[in-house]
Amino acid sequence: VAAHTQARGAAQVPPGDGLSGLSAHSPMGWPRKFGDASYGVDGLLIADDMFRLVHDDRGKPRVHPDVIALGLASALLAELILLRHAWVDGDRVLVNPAPKMPHDRVAQTVLLRLREEPRPLTVRDWLAFLARSSYYEVASRMVEAGHVVPIRRLPLIRNATRYIPVDINEAFWPKARLAMHLEYHDPLDELDTILGGLVVAADLYRSALTCSVGDGVAQLRSAVAAAPPSIQSLILHTEAAIGDAIIDGRRRRG
Amino acid sequence: MSKRGPERSGSRVAAALAQGRLGVAAVAFVAMAAIAPLTVVAGGATTGWAVTGITGIPVAYLATGVILVVFSAGYVAMSAKIVNSGALYTYIARGLGKTAGVCASFVAVLAYNAMPIGLYGGFGKVLADVLHDRAGITTPWYVWAFAGCAVAGVLGLLRIDLNGWVLAVLLVAEVSLTVVFAVVNVRHPAGGHVSYDTLAPHHLLGGGIGAALAIAVTGFVGFEGTAVYGEESRNPRSTVRRATYLTVVVAVLLYGFASWSMTVRTGPEQIVARAQAESTELMFNLAAPYVAQPLIDLGHLLFITSLFAAALSFHHTSARYFFALGREGVLPAWLGRTSVRMGAPKYGSLLQTALAAGVIALYSAKGWDPMTRLFFWITVLSGLGVLILLVATSTAVLGFFRHSTNRGTDVSVWSARIAPGLSAVALAWVLVVTVKQFGTLLGVGPADPVRWQLPALYLLVAVAGLIWAVVLKRTRPQVWAGIGRGANSVVPVEPVPSTAGAGR
């Protein structure tokens, strides 16, 4: 626990640590993180924002758990890609051999797993693998950081824990941010491109976007199409993986 | 929808993903649940005798089984080479081109949607009859058909399929009971003499064999579903191959033995008359004097659960077809949307339920017979569609393996050339005789227009598919590029399935 706390502490370093093109503010000047202009290196917690997007303000999931797990898995990979620890080449995930580690504990774990593999695996393999634990990993990261509080609703039932946001405004922020971008046809940065891409991939737009759906989806898709190849590839593979999860649904139980 | 598995044994990811993967038995069980053996033997074969008057149905099951074993050689070899949903049209799109793929997808939508609709009819009628006979409750068949349709519709929306263990227990019980009844029949032959007449090959050349073969093909529909499990199986190649052969072989032995045993019990010359008089009760009536009543009751119960399990399975199949084609952009994109909370192919499921409810309503309003006209006609119509797809798939396997890059070094000449060639010819012959004798199959006179109206539906949708393919190619190149790839159509690069299994 002490180590985790330390890791979380380290996450609060100031912005601008070698991440070109990623500032604390969106191009329109909205802070990326609600109420906090300092959006540190490890503040690029895309999976946290994804977690907020897939739950409503009472911690109720908006989409199917399988879809959430794949979306969060993709967001965890995206965190490493944005931190330049990994990239996607075609359909494979390649790892930056530099020994540098991310500050965040979950990102560290994912990166270590990537490095352990003798050969590069496909995005789809990583999504399937990470989806097994992504929900728990991201949820516990958010609990540790004090963003959500776990409430056990029913005894003896798996997945009965709900994570209630501590600050409703913070929980709502990614949704509001995306909505503002789309409303004003404001160019999306890499982080919001990923989030927006995942919203489309997970069929979340009807519940997670407030603007007119058709418009929003078209904007998000064109943002993904203009994104760097790694991000584009990750998002499209995620959409395919989620589509397959829907088609194969019954087989993924048990 | 794919064959992707981590390629390295020794990889922790591969080891982790291998846990919970399906073995041969699990894959075969799910496919067997869709083909529903008791439904086929107690419902399909008996109604087949009654409607067509053809005695050679047992030998037709055997012949069809042999053809399908040959077909499977090329089918499983190609399935290991492409990322696919196990949907036959994806094979056709890859092997014969995208235009053929779109035509095939339209044929598939009609064929797979027809199957649960017909099964609801059988479910409603059998349940109403059993309730009447055993509990004295008189209810119209369509009440139960609507109920079955509604329950399957809700389960479809909730993305719930019967639990694997429930399916396995039901299936083992069904198969055991069918075998027990068949043994009882053979031990009590008509006139004290066991006749092998209905297994004699001469039936294959006789009149009406097209009808018998169509009934047999319908009985096997669902076996092709094993290929879907490539990604989920322990070893994409051997698991799917073994499970496919296992499914076909178990089915052919069971269908052949059980249907032949009924003709032994009644005598071949009496089977048609008895089937016409007793319909789906025939199988139970034949065994009734020699087995305890609880076993007969259990048989009825299993017959009903078998019909429902098959209907539910094909409901899911239809919903997934709509979803995959919606995702590809071949059908409207709204069909590719997910239900928000359940992660189900929502609109595909709703559309199938609406179609089914509409057909049941039509039948009840017109007073048409639910057993012969709904269960039998509509399921054999579905069987005809799958037969068309099987012919095209055999040809597609040949086309696919003509390219040496597709074939690689590990596909034998038998799997790449001989088997698909033989099965293409044999299945095409079955298709031709079936269409020729469709009147016999439906039990209608030669002047009745329904004998060509029903098969013509496939021609209609295939032509519609052809026109739509031309439109897509001209106007929507992005959609065109993704045809046959289901949910993967969003990924620009064609993914290559891994060749090694993840687990072992």
Of the candidates B392, B415, B493, B471, the residue with the CA atom closest to the CA atom of residue B79? B415
Output the pLDDT for position B163: 64
Output the pLDDT for position B80: 82
Residue A124 sits at the chain B interface (C-beta within 8 Å): yes
Beta-strand (E) ranges in A166-242? Answer: none
What does the block give as tokens for A37? 């202009």
Output the pLDDT for position B494: 54
What does the block give as tokens for B355? 């179609």
Q: Which chain B residue's Cα is nearest to A233?
A: B491
Residue B336 sits at the chain A interface (C-beta within 8 Å): yes
Nearest to A63 among B232, B320, B340 (CB): B340
Of the candidates A64, A70, A35, A4, the residue with the CA atom closest to the CA atom of residue A207? A64
pLDDT band at B149 (very low <50, low <70, confident <90, very high): very high
Please give the distance of CA B208 from its chain centroid, rounded to a whole number. Answer: 22
**B434: pLDDT strictly greater than 90:** yes
pLDDT band at B455 (very low <50, low <70, confident <90, very high): very high
Widest CA span in chain B: 70
Nearest to A251 among B10, B229, B498 (CB): B229
Residue A125 sits at the chain B interface (C-beta within 8 Å): yes
Output the pLDDT for position A206: 73
Quote the mean pLDDT of chain B: 88
Q: State the nearest Cα–Cα gap between B76 and chain A, in angstroms.
A: 19
CA distance A69 to A66: 5
Q: How many CB atoms lie within 10 A of CB A4?
A: 14
Q: CB-based burial of residue B8 (10 Å sphere; 0-12 exposed, 13-18 middle, 19+ buried)?
A: middle
Three-state DSSP at A163 gives strand
Do A247 and B324 lie within an 8 Å CB cutoff?
yes
Over the stretch B372-397, which tens digit does the pLDDT of each residue have?
999 999 999 999 999 999 999 999 99
* Interface confidence: ipTM more than 0.95: no
Can you say whether residue B486 is alpha, beta or left, with left for phi > 0 and alpha for psi between -120 and 50 degrees? left
Output the pLDDT for position A158: 58
Which residues of chain B have a CB within 8 Å of the CB of A77?
none
pLDDT band at B275 (very low <50, low <70, confident <90, very high): very high
Question: Please, are residues B37 and B216 in contact by the beta-carbon 8 Å criterion?
Answer: no
**B495: pLDDT strictly greater than 70:** no
Over the stretch B352-377, which tens digit does the pLDDT of each residue have?
999 999 999 999 999 999 999 999 99
Over the stretch B392-429, which tens digit does the pLDDT of each residue have?
999 999 999 998 888 888 889 999 999 999 999 999 99
Between residues 30 and 89 of chain B, which touch chain A (CB distance below 8 Å)?
Answer: 85
Which residues of chain B have a CB within 8 Å of the CB of A237?
491
Output the pLDDT for position A60: 86
Top-confidence residue, B165 or A218: A218
Over the stretch B41-80, which tens digit does the pLDDT of each residue have?
999 999 999 999 999 999 999 999 999 999 999 999 998 8
The model carries a pTM of: 0.82
Q: State the nearest Cα–Cα gap between B120 and chain A, in angstroms.
A: 22
Query: Angle formed by the axes of helices B377-401 and B419-436, to 10°?
Result: 150
Q: What is the DSSP letter of B426?
A: H
Do A246 and B343 lie within an 8 Å CB cutoff?
yes
Residue A89 sits at the chain B interface (C-beta within 8 Å): no
Output the pLDDT for position A16: 32
Three-state DSSP at A36 gives strand
Q: For every one of its 254 residues, what pLDDT tens digit does chain A have, with 9 covering 90 and above? A: 333 333 333 333 333 333 333 444 444 444 454 434 334 444 568 999 999 999 988 888 888 888 999 999 999 999 999 888 999 988 899 998 887 888 889 999 999 999 988 889 999 999 999 999 999 999 999 999 999 999 887 666 556 789 999 999 888 888 888 888 888 888 888 888 999 999 989 888 777 666 566 678 888 889 999 999 999 999 999 998 988 888 776 444 33
Do A203 and B337 lie within an 8 Å CB cutoff?
yes
Do B343 and A249 lie within an 8 Å CB cutoff?
yes
Question: Helix and strand tally (H, E) in chain A?
Answer: 11, 4
Output the pLDDT for position B36: 85
Percentage above 70 pLDDT, chain B: 92
Of the candidates A109, A84, A69, the residue with the CA atom closest to the CA atom of residue A17? A84
Three-state DSSP at A164 gives strand
Residue B493 sits at the chain A interface (C-beta within 8 Å): yes
Output the pLDDT for position B408: 81
